[in-house]
Amino acid sequence: MRPHDQDRPDEFRSQRRSNQAVLLVAHGSPDPRSAPVVRALAERCGAHASFLEFDQPHPLTALRELADQGHLSATLVPLLLTNAYHARIDVPRIAAEASGFIDIHQATPVGTLSHARSLVVGLPDCDGVVVGAAGTRVAAGRSHIHAVAAETGRLLGVPALAGFATGEGLRPAEAVRQLRAQGARRVAAVSYFIAPGKLSDVAMHSAREGGAIFVGQPLGVSESGSSSISAAIGRRVSTPRASLVGATTSKTV
């Protein structure tokens, strides 16, 4: 048993006893702070880390290595918070390419409303909150961010808005100013990102420019956030709804 195995959820320990591996698929970042957070999350879950861009290994490389090690199948877990382009296009393409040498179960991204409980940990007293996130052209992805913002506001009992670093929607600074225009005087901003990087910095800097009294860290930086992400990964690994992509079976998630 590897170090800390006794502290991991049962689904991860039972998964490792089989020939099925778990591969986290992160976007990747040129920011050197990002990859260590992803690898720490993978280690925490007894999973393997891979990156679509900037960092190594690429998911296809990682899957070949897992197959060479004797794994018969792998669950791909998009380490992404929204079901947007990368989860809808990149990950399925990788799954299809890898299906010739390993059976692939594709899970859904790890974004969930339950992360809001981690976003509010350690916040100072506030009368408004902005949830800063990356932008996306996919409406469903933006809707998820708005839902997380609403849940964060519900937990705090204060008005809440989403603010996007790029793309459509309010910038965090605009969201802060809008809440202030509605009467809030102590607006906090939280970071709905998995790991630090350029976009998380842009979002929180924007919130500061708008007058936020506090800006938070990405989920994967804190114990509470890491635990919440790990729990989300565990649910996706253990769910029977993950799709199997292989030579004889092809299903949509």
pLDDT in tens, 81-139: 999 888 889 999 999 999 999 999 999 999 999 999 999 999 999 999 999 999 999 99
pLDDT in tens, 183-231: 999 999 999 999 999 999 999 999 999 999 999 999 999 999 999 999 9
Q: How confident is the model at residue 238 (pLDDT cuts 50, 70, 90)?
A: confident
Domains, the chain, with CATH or none: 5-111+224-245 (3.40.50.1400), 122-221 (3.40.50.1400)
Q: Which residue has the higher pLDDT, 248 or 242?
A: 242
Neighbouring CB atoms inside 10 A of 104's CB total 26
pLDDT in tens, 42-97: 999 999 999 999 999 999 999 999 999 999 999 999 999 999 888 889 999 999 99
Query: Which pair of structure tokens corresponds to residue 236?
Result: 């996706």
Q: How confident is the model at residue 147 (pLDDT cuts 50, 70, 90)?
A: very high
What's 70's DSSP letter? Answer: T
Mapping DSSP to helix (H, G, I), strand (E, B) and coil, where does residue 75 land?
A: strand
Query: Which pair of structure tokens corresponds to residue 205?
Result: 């800097």
Residue with tokens 């842009």: 202
Rounded to the nearest 10 degrees, the angle between the axes of helix 59-68 and helix 91-98 is 30
CA–CA separation, 48 and 57 (whole Å): 10
| Contact (CB, 8 A) for 213 and 126 | yes
pLDDT in tens, 8-44: 555 454 444 457 899 999 999 999 999 999 999 999 9
Query: Which pair of structure tokens corresponds to residue 80?
Result: 């992404």
Cα–chain-centroid distance for residue 205?
21
Taking the complete model, does pTM exceed 0.75, yes or no?
yes
pLDDT of residue 156: 98
pLDDT of residue 18: 53
Mapping DSSP to helix (H, G, I), strand (E, B) and coil, where does residue 184 land?
A: coil
Where are the strands (E) in 79-171, listed by range?
Answer: 103-106, 128-133, 160-164
pLDDT of residue 245: 52
| pLDDT at residue 141 tops 80 | yes
| Contact (CB, 8 A) for 240 and 247 | no
CA–CA separation, 173 and 165 (whole Å): 10
Whether the CA torsion 34, 40, 43, 44 is positive or negative: it is negative
pLDDT of residue 3: 38
| Contact (CB, 8 A) for 242 and 105 | yes
Where are the strands (E) in the chain, listed by range?
Answer: 20-26, 48-51, 73-78, 103-106, 128-133, 160-164, 187-191, 214-215, 243-245
